[in-house]
Structure 1
Amino acid sequence: MELRQFKYFVAIVDCGSLSRAAQQLFIAQSALSKQMAELEAELGTQLLLRSRNGVAMTEAGKVFYEYAQGITKQVSDAKAAVHVAADSVAGSVVAALPQSVSPMIALPLMRAAARRYPDVVLHLNEELTGNMADQLLRGRVDVAVFSPAMPAEDIRFVPLVEEDFVFLESPQSPHALPPGDVSIAQATARPLVWPANAHGHCTRWLVDAVLEREGHSTAQVAAEINSVYTLKAAVEAGLGPTIMPFGLAQREVQEGRLVAHRIDSPSMFRTLGLCVSVHLPTTNAKRAVCTLIGDVVRDLCESGQWAGARAVAPAKGPRP
């Protein structure tokens, strides 16, 4: 396989058709089609389904696409790295944030990056947690903010913040609890609105682990919703309560749309940290962004803007 074949395949998938990809790549469509036929022949499997409406990936194509994106990104990063001075902070960094973290730090991080590192192009991906580990391992993402659930032999984890979980419900619910703390039994007495298990690494999995350690049954499920914003709206509409980090619902609680109860358990919190692949090189730009994320998190916690969170990052920011 040649590097250009990886690049061509990614372009075809992203463009949705051979003709549009050929125009973008400035090559003849027939030549592009030949390259894909040779690639499929070498792999011994079909990657693309062709039709009048364009192309679609086969299951094998979806797997190959993930690797092809990572490979083309790493080659692009390598080319950029050799053209900058050894001590300069420049280049492109892709950071992935879970949906349950992005509302708190995405905008402050972008502002801080633009101010401190004008020569770094920071790409922020807001992701479902089930997708993040694969993207990090395959090189599509440089750094992720995640729970310590990724494989330790492949991922270096540096803790950043501890964040309390709360029980959230609609104030209009006929089953609404009186103000004040609630026990774990009270918080799980009704079916909960949850993210799906496949995407619950930073929320649902952690709560389930606490329930198991403290001898409680797994919470019943009222609905599974893989969107933080829709999930909060569902709770507000009375579909059921939920358990999530307080900072994620801080605005809705302040506006009286949701009610938050502290859960009477010392274990009901999550630890989030920086995750980087141990198999990929660390550039000056990546190192700088890792430090910046730690600084931004600490500032948000100390200023009270990230409610219910305690920074555990080193004073000068983490350096994976």
Structure 2
Amino acid sequence: MELRQFKYFVAIVDCGSLSRAAQQLFIAQSALSKQMAELESELGTQLLLRSRNGVAMTEAGKVFYEYAQGITKQVRDARAAVHVAAESVSGSVVAALPQSVSPMIALPLMRAAARRYPDVVLHLNEELTGNMADQLLRGRVDVAMFSPAMPAEDIQFTPLVEEDFVFLDSPQSPHALPPGDVSIQQATARPLVWPAHAHGHCTRWLVDAVLERAGHSAAQVVAEINSVYTLKAAVEAGLGPTIMPLGLAQREVQEGRLVAHRIDLPSMHRTLGLCVSVHLPATNAKRAVCTLIADVVRDLCESGQWAGARALAPVRKTK
């Protein structure tokens, strides 16, 4: 396989048709079609379904697309790296944040990056956690904030913050509990509004693990919602309570739209940190963004802007 075939395949998928991709790539459509036929022949499988309305990926094509995006990104990064001075902090960095972290850190991070590293283009992706791990392992993402759940042989994890989970409910609920701490039995007495299990690495998985260690069965579920904002709205509307980090709902709690109860179980918290691939080189820009994320997290915790969170050890430099 040639590098240009990866590039061509990504362009075809992104453009939705061979003709539009050919125009974008400034090559003849017949030449582009020939390149794709050779690629499919070499792989021994069909990647694209062609029709008069454009192209669509086969299941094999969807898998290949993920790898092709990662490969083309790494080549762009390599080309950029060899054209800058060794001490220069410039280039492009893709950072991924879970939906349960983005509301606390995304805007402060973007402001800090623009102020401290004006020559770094920071791409910030807010992602479902089930997607983040795959993107990081395939090289489409440079750094991610995640729980320590990725394979240690592939990912370097540096802990940054420890964050408490709380029991959240609507103050209008007929089952609302009086102010104060609640037991784990009270917190799980009613079915919860939860993210789907496939995307619960930083929330649901961690709570279930705490419950298992404490000898409790997994919480019952009334609804699964893969949007943090919709999930909070569902709790506010009385669909059911949830268990999530306090910082994620601090505005709704302050405004009286949700009520937060501390759960009387010392281990009811999560640890989040930086995740980078051990298989990919660390550019100056990537190192700088890792340090910047650690600094922003620490500042948010120490200033009290990230409710229920405690900063941990400073970030280690990536290799």
Give the TM-score band, short-chain normalised: over 0.9
After TM superposition, what 4+ stretches of structure 1 lie above 2 angstroms from structure 2?
Answer: 315-319
1:98-157 CA-to-partner distances (Å, cap 9, x unmatched) read 000001000100110010001100000111000111111111000000000000010000
Deviation, 1:29, is 1.2
RMSD, aligned α-carbons: 1.2
Question: Aligned partners of 2:24 and 2:99: how far apart in 1?
Answer: 32
Residue of structure 1 in register with 2:28 after alignment: 28
| Segment of structure 1 superposing worse, 211-220 or 26-35 | 26-35
Q: 8 Å contact 1:294–1:317 — kept in the other structure?
A: no
Deviation, 1:281, is 0.3
Residue of structure 2 in register with 1:142 after alignment: 142
Residue of structure 1 in register with 2:18 after alignment: 18
Count of aligned residue pairs for this structure pair: 319
Deviation, 1:316, is 9.0
1:48-88 CA-to-partner distances (Å, cap 9, x unmatched) read 11112211110000100010000000000000000000011
Q: Secondary structure at the match of 1:257?
A: coil
Q: 8 Å contact 2:162–2:311 — kept in the other structure?
A: yes
Q: 8 Å contact 1:294–1:318 — kept in the other structure?
A: no
Question: Aligned partners of 1:318 and 1:53: how far apart in 2?
Answer: 46
| Segment of structure 1 superposing worse, 19-28 or 259-268 | 19-28
Q: Secondary structure at the match of 1:168?
A: strand
Question: Aligned partners of 2:314 and 2:42: how far apart in 1?
Answer: 49
Q: Secondary structure at the match of 2:133?
A: helix
Question: Aligned partners of 1:287 and 1:318: how far apart in 2?
Answer: 6
Q: 8 Å contact 1:193–1:240 — kept in the other structure?
A: yes
Deviation, 1:292, is 0.1
Deviation, 1:318, is 8.2
Question: Pairwise mapping of residues 127-138 of structure 1 onto structure 2 (< 5 A)?
Answer: 127-138=127-138
Deviation, 1:313, is 3.3
Q: 8 Å contact 2:290–2:315 — kept in the other structure?
A: no
Question: Aligned partners of 1:15 and 1:98: how far apart in 2?
Answer: 28
Q: Secondary structure at the match of 1:272?
A: strand
Q: 8 Å contact 2:96–2:132 — kept in the other structure?
A: yes
Q: Secondary structure at the match of 2:113?
A: helix
Q: 8 Å contact 1:293–1:317 — kept in the other structure?
A: no
Q: 8 Å contact 1:194–1:242 — kept in the other structure?
A: yes
Q: 8 Å contact 1:157–1:274 — kept in the other structure?
A: yes
Q: 8 Å contact 2:193–2:223 — kept in the other structure?
A: yes
Residue of structure 1 in register with 2:190 after alignment: 190
Question: Aligned partners of 1:170 and 1:17: how far apart in 2?
Answer: 48
Question: Pairwise mapping of residues 101-180 of structure 1 onto structure 2 (< 5 A)?
Answer: 101-180=101-180
Distance 1:81 1:96, change over 3 A: same
Q: 8 Å contact 2:170–2:258 — kept in the other structure?
A: yes
Question: Aligned partners of 2:269 and 2:64: how far apart in 1?
Answer: 37
Question: Aligned partners of 1:292 and 1:168: how far apart in 2?
Answer: 31
1:20-45 CA-to-partner distances (Å, cap 9, x unmatched) read 11111111111111111111011010
Distance 1:59 1:241, change over 3 A: same
